[in-house]
Amino acid sequence: MTDTIPAHGGVLVNRLLTGEARREALAQSRELPRIPLTDWSLSDLELIGIGAFSPLRGFMTREDYDAVLESMHLSNGLVWPIPITLPVEPTLARRLRPGQRVALVGQADDVVYGILEVTQVYPYEKRREAEFVYRTTDEAHPGVRKLYQRPETYVAGPVWVLNRRKPAQFSAFSLDPAETRLAFQQRCWRTVVGFQTRNPVHRAHEYIQKCALEVVDGLLLHPLVGETKADDIPAGVRMRSYQVLLDAYYPKDRVLLAVYPAAMRYAGPREAVMHALVRKNYGCTHFIVGRDHAGVGHYYGTYDAQKIFSHFRPEEIGITPLFFENSFYCEKCDGMASEKTCPHEEAYRYILSGTKVREILRRGERPSPKFTRPEVADVLIAGLTEEVGVRGD
């Protein structure tokens, strides 16, 4: 059985050096100028290297950057909604020249993770990028705040990845796009729906995932485990919650759990499109887009992340988005429902925001089983109690 869906742009990119080529590059890197990378940039480097960001082969040039901001397309016409760029301190950037190679090293550990061949060095306007990508220049927005903290210069060029970070706690779930595609083939899944999450899966998530499973062969549960907001539930706790949920409530032959090692941008509609394209690269044929996908606060309309897909022709995206209304437990219906299927008044609907759930959990209280499964609640309470104990709150 062959792949059922091509990578974005037609070819799954692979920028991972191995064997003798890697050894030679590591030896050369000792003589190269060094660019320190934050955790965010390290995530982007890895995702370029493994092909999750196909068709990108490196950090964006000025032409691609401007095209993405203004049209949500690369300069070659392919859909891409968010700039993937490498910020560098101006004092270092001024010493770089096109054609020069530089070593990309971890800011925290000084490990050489990759090599970049410089094609361009260019300044950018932070407020302009914020307006296009986040639809706001408000520094209270976590993505905008991160953007404003970055250096004022971008360095562009193709990259090669020499070393990777694979956290031990996620090693069993760290599958590259080539590996998830192989897993789908081995399971004989011709249609696969991807689900992006940075939160524990609650009953509404479960409901829409199982609705999707009625029409496809398999589900890729693909939680983001890179950098998130400080008040988001830690990735390790979330992963334990996914495992107990899948063990108790999902058919084991219909679901694959794997981690997505990206930083969360909280870019709402644009990030929803990027999440879809990335899951296409992982081999998914369908992608769930729920309410306020990749949103934060009140910066985006409830269904803006669904409406944005109307800006593109289906063949431009190449993956089928599945749009779901807000879901909830309804007392009158005596089960899970959505605004499309439930005729009852709001008073009968059990809905909690993520903020309210975190408040409940941090008090050591148990969320209602109408919101989350008891096994998941146990994991979350234990995990967050442990987190508070470690911090000494």
- Sequence-separated (6 or more) residues with CB below 8 Å from residue 391: none
286's tokens = 């369908």
Can 199 be counted among the known catalytic residues?
A: yes
The residue among 199, 195, 188, 190 whose CA lies nearest residue 210 is: 195
Phi-psi sector, 126: left (phi>0), alpha (psi -120 to 50), beta: alpha
Q: Which amino acid is at 279?
A: R
Phi-psi sector, 70: left (phi>0), alpha (psi -120 to 50), beta: alpha
Among residues 199, 326, 358, 366, the one annotated as catalytic is: 199
Cβ–Cβ under 8 Å, residues 49 and 159: yes
The residue among 351, 349, 347 whose CA lies nearest residue 330 is: 349
Can 165 be counted among the known catalytic residues?
A: no
Among residues 15, 181, 198, 265, the one annotated as catalytic is: 198
Q: Which amino acid is at 72?
A: M
Task: Give start and end residues of each alpha helix (H) in 114-173.
Answer: 126-134, 142-149
Please report the DSSP string for 194-247 in residue order. Answer: EEEESS---HHHHHHHHHHHTTSSEEEEEEB-S---TTSPPHHHHHHHHHHHHH
Active-site residues, by number, are 198-199
